[in-house]
Amino acid sequence: MRGQRELHTRVKTAKGRKLSSTRWLKRQLNDPYVKLAKQEGFKSRAAYKLMQLDDKFRFLLPGKIVLDLGSAPGGWSQVAASRTNSDKQQPNSEMGRVIAVDLTEMDPLQGVMFIQADIHSLELSKIDLEQGKADVILSDMAAPSTGHKQTDHLRIITLCEVALNIAKESLMPEGVLVAKVLEGGAGSELQKELKANFTTVKTVKPEASRKDSSEKYIVALGFRGMQ
Ligand SMILES: C[S@@+](CC[C@H](N)C(=O)[O-])C[C@H]1O[C@@H](n2cnc3c(N)ncnc32)[C@H](O)[C@@H]1O
């Protein structure tokens, strides 16, 4: 068996490459989830975060309709498609649907309908959901980091608020919302709104989420329906 030392890839600081890029490259090359994603054919290591959240809360069931906001490059969509059976070739009653939305282009994925759009201007009526509703809304959205902690936190809270508004309009009663937040949680206003609209609201950090990242995920279960 190869030792840990041999498995660890060393990265030399190349001329012209910034130290931060070298650090990023080193982390990527030695990250077990990056390796696993490559081996198992997932578009991103983020796929494992969703798998772990779903293993704990069981919301991606066969036949469910999922809206994946901020989907590119597609790891979460792949997990959602596989667990809801939307990627199966043989149509059956337990076949789900996955609709993915992102600002940036995404390669086609089996069982995933992709819409390139900014969620701030997303026209929900144009999304072909079952009776206009989804069972699960996922948001792994993140704006590019500014490096300024408070600004980044506010930006992600804004994205979370938009996801919650979309959920209020297009979730089925008993539906589930999963959304990324940064350390400090959802912000008190957002937390209040989530608790008013869902019976259970949990904030969790899946094992695959990097320890040095301040990201966490809100899992809101049991949508109370339009009030
Ligand atoms: C961390 S990545 C998502 C990774 C994805 N869950 C996966 O498993 O591959 C965050 C994504 O959010 C998208 N995003 C950020 N702001 C957005 C917006 N306003 N509308 C749509 N997508 C947005 C970004 O383009 C980016 O692709």
Looking at ligand 1, which residue's alpha carbon is closest to its atom 5? Answer: 71
**Ranges assigned E (strand) in 4-123:** 65-69, 97-102, 112-116
Instruction: Tell me, in angstroms, the distance from the centre of ligand 1 to residue 179's CA.
Output: 11
Instruction: Tell me, in angstroms, the distance from the centre of ligand 1 to residue 131's CA.
Output: 26
Question: Domain limits of the chain?
Answer: 45-223
Percentage of the chain beyond pLDDT 90 is 67
Under 8 Å CB-to-CB from 218, ≥6 apart: which residues?
160, 177, 178, 179, 180, 181, 185, 186, 194, 201, 202, 203
Nearest 5°: CA angle at 95, between 70 and 52?
50
Atom of ligand 1 nearest to the CA of 141: 12
Percentage of the chain beyond pLDDT 70 is 84
User: What lines the ligand 1 site, CB under 6 Å?
Assistant: 43-44, 46-47, 70-76, 101-104, 118-120, 140-143
Taking only the tens place, the pLDDT of each residue in 74-120 is 999 999 999 999 999 776 669 999 999 999 999 999 999 999 999 99
Q: Report pLDDT for 188.
A: 85
Q: Is the pLDDT of residue 4 over 60?
A: no
Atom of ligand 1 nearest to the CA of 68: 6
pLDDT band at 11 (very low <50, low <70, confident <90, very high): low
Under 8 Å CB-to-CB from 181, ≥6 apart: which residues?
156, 157, 160, 187, 203, 215, 216, 217, 218
Q: Report pLDDT for 178.
A: 98
Q: Report pLDDT for 150.
A: 83
pLDDT band at 160 (very low <50, low <70, confident <90, very high): very high
42-51: average pLDDT: 98
203-217: average pLDDT: 94
Q: Report pLDDT for 3.
A: 40
Beta strands at 134-139 and 112-116: parallel, antiparallel or unpaired: unpaired
The answer regarding whether domain 45-223 maps to CATH 3.30.365.10 reads no
Q: Report pLDDT for 147.
A: 83
Contact 67, 99 (CB under 8 A): yes
Of the residues 180, 192, 205, 211, only one is catalytic, namely 180
Residue 180 among the catalytic residues: yes
